[in-house]
Amino acid sequence: MDGTKQSGLVKFKDNLFTVKDSLLGSFIRSGAPTSDRSRTAIMFNNFFLHVQTVKTHINTLRPSYTLGMGLIALFLMIIAFISGIFLMVYYNPSIENAFNSVKDINFVVSGGKLMRNVHKWSGEAMIIFVLFHMTRVFYTSSYLRGREFNWLIGIVLLVLTFLLNLTGYMLPWDQLSYWALVIVANIIAAPLEMTDIMGVTKYFDIGGISKELFLGGLVPGKEALNRVYLFHIMLLPAAILIILGVHFWRIRKDGGLTRPDKFDRKDTDTTYITPPDKTGDIFPTYKTYGLMELAKGKTPAVDNDVENTVLSWPNLLIAELAVMMFTLAAVVAYSFYIDAPLKELANPAIPENPAKAPWYFLGLQELVGYSAFMGGQGIPMAALLGLALIPFLDRESEHTGIWFSNKQGLTVTIISFIVGTVGLIGTLAFTIQYGWFRNWWPNIPQIVIVMINPGTIWLGFVMIWSLATIKITGSTRMGAIALFTIFLVSYIILTYTGTVLRGPNWDFFWSQSEWPIH
């Protein structure tokens, strides 16, 4: 009896003294990543790493291919999430306290201002980098070969990114928040414009009901702030996280990132990859081995595919770490020097003049200035629908993985860029110079203005231009390039117009220095 007791305690003592090693071993089950075998094992034994493949194609690692845009968007999101949690420690979503709590964060809380800047700028930067990422995916035809669904998921992510920013700047309850809330609530109510024209508002007031559900009342107040808060800190973050999970899972299932059919290694590739290390472990030093594996693809890819891949650990992970460090450093540095704006406390009696949305919505504000319904709902919906349908209307997958497809693609991009720029600036200049229907015929029915305004005319032109491109080139991919290029150009030009060229009363000015003093 005594003996067993003794040996039990001895066992315990041994376990206790080796707890450091055994604990560590249970975390890193495959041992230190010192050989290709353990580097492989760590990739599929680790929950966080197994989302990625054990091996990565060299094309994927070329910085000139992905430009790291999707990754930057991801890290910006993580930064925004973490900084957001810190802001929540002090922020209070009530109309009495919201503004003061944000002021506290800015001026009283240690590091509060920096944290708020980081949150604000990482969120806004997400918009830029998600758009850049979408641009890269588009111009490399990466929405094809099974990736159609992931492109759709991407569109949802784009919308969520905008919504997160939108709900975010409503929270401080300053002048910007309040008037943005008013304007958004009325954009939500914009179907009123249509039901009024049809004369059915009395029976079917879809605009009014949506607005009431959004505001939790008839005018923006405490219920509205509460709802916006619910969206910003819970519903939208949860949605973007889940959908981003699907996005990454699809990348895996779709066989990794796209790459050209004919892939040639370049000398420069060796600057960012380490060659396989087939020594040690199962590889005796006196023999050489070829790796055999099955890779997903059209043909059972044997030689090529396998040859042009390298281990994800360390090649991919080190690149990801670098992008993360770069993103974090850039956001913190920017936030150190540039402060997120905070206007005066919300004042329902007096809007600012001009009352401007943040820059990324000023393109829409310009369109809304022609018709609330078309600019706020019709045209954005049409643009999103057009983007969403791209992979289904263009199925020419032979260019997949090649920037701009071919020479013709580059030409179409450049021509569409020029046509888009000149055409849209022309349309805007005409409107600014001569006004629109109502300035010429003051009693024109509203329906005419809703249907025919500079925004809808431009939308029609873009559609015709894309169809014409398809007809002339005989290629749907060229039509897609025309459409997407003009979409980007339009977003940029409209945003610039709304940001720089519009002043008090939404009148035209060359720059802010010309605004009348009032």
- Write out the binding residues for other proteins, residues 352-371 only, by CB under 8 A: 352-355, 365, 368-371
Total residues contacting other proteins (rule CB under 8 A)?
Answer: 46
Among 49, 206, 235, 251, binds ligand HEM (CB under 6 A): 251
- Alpha carbon distance 448, 219 (integer Å): 30
- 116 and 102 in contact (C-beta within 8 Å)? yes
Taking the least distance from each CB to ligand HEM, the nearer of 5 and 298 is 298
Tell me how far the alpha carbon of residue 480 is from its chain's centroid: 20
Q: Are 357 and 364 in contact (CB under 8 A)?
A: yes
Length of the chain: 518
**Hey, is 210 helix, strand or coil?**
helix
Site for other proteins in 432-471 (CB under 8 A): 435, 438-439, 442, 446, 449-450
Could you give the CA distance from residue 518 to residue 503 in angstroms, rounded to a whole number?
A: 12
Euclidean distance between CA atoms 488 and 390, whole angstroms = 14
370 binds, among ligand HEM, other proteins, none (CB under 5 to 8 A by kind): other proteins
Q: Which residue is nearest to ligand HEM (CB)?
A: 154
CB of 218 to other proteins, least distance (A): 6
x/- letters, 133..172, toward ligand HEM (CB under 6 A): xx-xx----xx---x--xx--xx-xx--x-----------
Among ligand HEM, other proteins, none, the one that 73 touches (CB under a kind-dependent 5 to 8 A) is ligand HEM
The answer to the question of residue 56 lying near ligand HEM (CB under 6 A) is: no
Q: Which residue has the tokens 């949305």?
A: 357
**Considering only 121-129, 141-149, 161-169, 175-183, which stretch makes contact with other proteins by CB under 8 A?**
175-183
Residue 505 binding result from ligand HEM, other proteins, none, given CB thresholds of 5 to 8 Å by partner type: other proteins
What's 341-367 look like in SS3? Answer: CCCCECCCCCCCCCCCCCHHHHHHHHH
In the complex, minimum distance from the CB of residue 303 to other proteins, in angstroms, rounded to a whole number: 40
CA distances from 502 to 124, 128, 204, 212, 365 (A): 21, 22, 36, 31, 10
Do residues 56 and 315 lie in contact, with contact meaning Cβ atoms separated by under 8 Å?
A: yes
**DSSP conformational letter for 339:** P
In this structure, are strands 309-311 and 55-57 parallel, antiparallel, or unpaired? Answer: antiparallel
Residue 384 CB, nearest approach to other proteins (Å): 21
Footprint on residues 325-354 left by other proteins (CB under 8 A): 348-354
Query: Across the strands, what pairs with 295?
Result: 301
Q: Candidates 26-34, 79-87, 179-187, 320-328 — which segment interacts with other proteins by CB under 8 A? A: 179-187
- The SS3 call for residue 345 is strand
Of 62, 123, 440, the closest CA to residue 269 belongs to 62
Is-contact 310 275, C-beta < 8 A? yes
Nearest to 415 by CA among 333, 350, 486: 486
Could you tell me which of 68, 31, 61 has the C-alpha nearest to residue 46? 31
| Nearest distance from C-beta of residue 177 to ligand HEM, angstroms | 24
In the complex with ligand HEM, the residue whose CB is nearer, 147 or 502, is 147
Segment near ligand HEM (CB under 6 A); pick from 65-73, 90-98, 230-238, 423-431: 65-73
218 binds, among other proteins, ligand HEM, none (CB under 5 to 8 A by kind): other proteins
- The conformation of residue 254, written as its DSSP 8-state character, comes to T
In three-state secondary structure terms, 55 is strand
For other proteins, the binding residues in 58-87 under the rule CB under 8 A are none
Give me the residues that bind ligand HEM (CB under 6 A), please. 66, 69-71, 73-74, 77, 130, 133-134, 136-137, 142-143, 147, 150-151, 154-155, 157-158, 161, 244, 247, 251, 257-258
Give me the residues that bind other proteins (CB under 8 A), please. 179, 182-183, 185-187, 192-193, 196, 209, 212-213, 216-219, 221-223, 348-355, 365, 368-372, 375-376, 435, 438-439, 442, 446, 449-450, 504-507
